[in-house]
Amino acid sequence: MNNWKKCFLPNKYFEFTLTHTIITCLFLLILTKLALPSEEENTHSIKPHIPFYGKLQYAGNIGMFSIGVGGIFLNNSLSLDINYGYLPKWINGVRVSTMAIKGAFHFFKKQLKKIEVNSFAGLSLNYSITNNTFLMLPKHYPDGYYLPNAIHVCPFIGTGLAFIDCKTGLHGPGVYTEVGTVDYMVYYAFRNKSISLFEIWNLCFGITVPIVKG
């Protein structure tokens, strides 16, 4: 039990971090190799589509794990999903529930045989419930004393791949990784020279599964 718990505690266990980093590097190198093929490489012309999907995500500012459902619109270029994430108290002492609406523009796609690789960027609007967070200022504070602190806007950019049925053009399960940040961190990095723009990003991983075939 304890060993399993330790595996999910970031930056405390070097071995896990190292393994995690190596796996991520390999994963991203494969994605890049697939996403940027040579000129001669043949590609298929079938237009895959995945109108609705379910997803499971690890980390990424919306909890330790989150689940969500969403769809792809506008000729497969815009995805929109709603997510619920949870951070249990035993991880680092606080319990956080988060609802997030994520919209992403898929700006690059490449289909290679049975795999489609895509890159996307977007914004997530996160509403979290934990201690001392609020949307409306509690009455015991003077007007305008604090700004609402339960909502954050989180920009992200990511890469994913999904398996495709070449005959029907339908998506199968897929995986993705994102690098994202939180609104206040971007503001702080621009406001303070002592905070580097490089240190405000974090990673998440997820899987998608089609739930309704179009």
The residues of the shown chain that bind another protein, judged by CB under 8 A, are: 9-11, 17, 20-21, 24-25, 28, 31-32, 35-36, 59-64, 85, 87, 91-94, 96, 98, 107-108, 119, 121, 128, 130-133, 140-141, 146, 149, 152, 157-159, 177, 179, 182, 184-185, 187-188, 191-195, 198-199, 201-204
- What 3-state class would DSSP assign to 54? strand
Q: Which residues pair with 144 in a beta bridge?
A: none
Residue partners of 164: CB distance under 8 A and separation at least 6: 46, 48, 111, 114, 115, 116, 170, 171, 172
Q: What minimum distance in Å lies between the beta carbon of 202 and another protein?
A: 4
Q: How far is the CB of 207 from another protein (least distance, A)?
A: 17
Min. distance of Cβ 157 from another protein in angstroms? 4
Instruction: Return the number of the residue (69 or 151) whose C-beta is nearest another protein.
Output: 151
Closest CA to 176 of 66, 16, 41: 66
Strands 78-87 and 96-112: antiparallel
- The distance of closest approach from Cβ of residue 24 to another protein in the complex, given in angstroms and rounded to an integer, is 6
